[in-house]
Amino acid sequence: MTSPKKKLIAGNWKMNGSLAANEALVQALRAGVGQSGCDVAVCVPSPYLAQVQSLVAGSPIALGAQDVSAHAQGAYTGEQSAAMLKDFGVRYAIVGHSERRQYHGESDDAVAAKAGAALGAGITPIVCVGETLAEREAGHTAEVVRRQLAAVIHANGHCITEIVVAYEPVWAIGTGKTATPEEAQAVHAVLRAQLHHAAGDGAARIRILYGGSMNAANAASLLAQPDVDGGLIGGASLKAPDFLQIIAAAA
Ligand code: PGA
């Protein structure tokens, strides 16, 4: 199935940055991004949302968060609600990143609730799914990603066409090991079929990003796959020339 929509290249800065480093990075991105043919976002640590909101103002770069609370308000120390993120111009929120599933015990249902909270505030959730190395080696890749996505579909009904999905094989994140374009496409096709089952023709416009050691050298071949609609980029999004090359490969 081909996808006619614009690709999305989203940087996931993770827990990196400083006032000075963010300013230098965003200025370099603004200078190089031009009127690119793809959508571009940077998902930044929450203390820097206000800073990066003003740094990207008037540019084609959208602002993203790395997580969102499932709750609207109240006694949830350390969390940020979708409405708070919206106050700072946030367009996208990553939910269910494997680092949050692994280090913070986020369940499929918790991730689904977070996606719902984002959607309710008009923020596009970037829902991450992906298998561990052990799951891949046991032949469980399709089953794992389907289970993770099914929770989000089940909890969000007809809003499902408003999400972005990111396939991020856990073994490829930050390791320098990338899924081959064919391996990525095979899983993206599984996800597209599942979305099609849930949303009919609307599934064609849902963007499915690949993430996991995407870089300037491998981006073009991954992005050439019919069901790869963009990338979620960690390490390479912290280096402006690399991130700009990935954006150029998606345009
Ligand atoms: P990586 O991270 O590009 O550094 O592998 C991707 C991610 O975790 O989103």
**220 is a domain residue:** yes
Query: For 179-232, how does the pLDDT look when each residue is reduced to its tens digit (9 = 90+)?
Result: 999 999 999 999 999 999 999 999 999 999 999 999 999 999 999 999 999 999
* Residue 126, ligand 1, Cβ within 6 A: no
Q: Give yes or no for residue 211 CB within 6 A of ligand 1.
A: yes
Percentage with pLDDT > 70 across the chain: 98
How much is the pLDDT for 198? 95
Beta bridge pairs of residue 92? 64, 124
Where does the pLDDT of residue 5 fall: very low under 50, low under 70, confident under 90, or very high at 90 and above? confident
Ligand 1 pocket check for 212: Cβ under 6 Å: yes
What is the domain range of residue 43?
8-250
pLDDT at 2: 42
108 lines ligand 1 (CB under 6 A): no
Rounded to the nearest angstrom, the distance between the alpha carbon of 173 and the centre of ligand 1 is 5
Q: Cα(172) to centroid of ligand 1, in Å?
A: 8
> Cα(214) to centroid of ligand 1, in Å?
7
3-state helix, strand, coil in the chain (%, to 5): 50, 15, 35
Q: Which ligand 1 atom lies nearest to the CA of residue 173?
A: 5
170 CB less than 6 Å from ligand 1?
no
Nearest to 170 by CA among 213, 229, 125: 213
Quickly count helices (H) and strands (E) in the chain.
10, 8
Residues 6+ apart with CB under 8 A from 82: 68, 69, 72, 93, 117, 118, 120, 121, 123
Sequence-ordered strand ranges (E) for the chain: 8-12, 39-43, 61-65, 90-95, 124-129, 164-167, 207-211, 230-233
- Give the 3-state DSSP-derived string for 13-53, with helices as H, strands as E and coil as C: CCCCCCHHHHHHHHHHHHHHHCCCCCEEEEECCHHHHHHHH
The model's pTM is 0.97
Helix (H, G, I), strand (E, B) or coil at 143: helix
pLDDT of 4 reads 58
Is the predicted pLDDT of residue 168 greater than 80, yes or no? yes
pLDDT of residue 36: 74
Single out the residue of 15, 155, 34, 22 nearest to residue 97, CA to CA: 15
Residue 166 has pLDDT above 90, yes or no: yes
Is 54 inside any structural domain? yes
pLDDT tens figures, 95-145 = 999 999 999 999 999 999 999 999 999 999 999 999 999 999 999 999 999
CATH code for position 230: 3.20.20.70
In a domain, 127, yes or no: yes
Mind listing the pLDDT tens digit for each residue in 39-48? 999 999 999 9
Residue 145: the pLDDT is: 98
Asked if residues 99 and 67 have their Cβ atoms less than 8 Å apart, the reply is no
Q: Which of 132, 168, 171 to mutate to test the pocket of ligand 1 (most atoms within 8 A of CB)?
A: 168
The 10s digit of each residue's pLDDT in 91-102 is 999 999 999 999
Residue type (1 letter), 62: A
Residue 217: inside a domain: yes
What total of structural domains would you count in the chain?
A: 1
Residue 3 counted as domain residue: no
Contact 238, 26 (CB under 8 A): no
List the catalytic residues.
Answer: 97, 168
**How far is the centre of ligand 1, averaged over its atoms, from the C-alpha of 130 (Å)?**
12
Report if residue 79 sits inside a domain. yes
Report which protein residue has its CA nearest ligand 1's atom 7. Answer: 234
30 — phi, psi (to 5°)? -60, -40
Ligand 1, atom nearest to 214 Cα: 3
